[in-house]
Amino acid sequence: MNLQYHAEDQKIIVRIPINLRRWGGKKVLVGPQGQDLRSLDLEVRKDEKLLKALGRAYRWHKMIAIGQYQSVSELAEAENINKSYLQRMMRLMLLSPRIVDAILNGQQPEGFALTDIEKAFSPIWSEQEKQFGFAQSNH
């Protein structure tokens, strides 16, 4: 922090070096040495867009699985959404349980967002975790 005091005009200038980054559509503060200040508040780390997309994917999957709709096309028409979008979101069903759990708990890697999942990814869970930056754990 840099403080300056100018006696002639009685002005105090405070400079605090911070960075702003986008996380789940929100701007968040990152400390001067790159500290992840979001870890101080778990709720801020929860990516609302990812959570909503996961919920929709599971709901849509269930609607087709129980026979409420016979196809993705029929479901997209009933939900009044683009079929391509529905298909991209339903790919969330292919994510490893470890990735889903991390998203639900707000513990996804920094920078991981819905746009990453909309791109092609491997159906093999260990490869997904590596591709999306989820560090391997020993348990």
Q: pLDDT tens for residues 92-120?
A: 999 999 999 999 888 888 888 898 888 88
Does 21 map to a domain? no
Give long-range contacts, CB 8 A cutoff, 24+ apart: 39-45.
Answer: 42/105, 42/106, 43/106, 44/106, 45/106, 45/107, 45/108
Q: Is residue 32 included in any domain, yes or no? A: no
Q: What is the pLDDT of residues 19-73, one digit of tens each?
A: 777 766 666 666 666 666 655 555 456 788 899 999 999 999 999 999 999 999 9
What's the number of domains the chain is made of?
1
Assigned domain for 92 exists: yes
Domain span including residue 66: 46-131
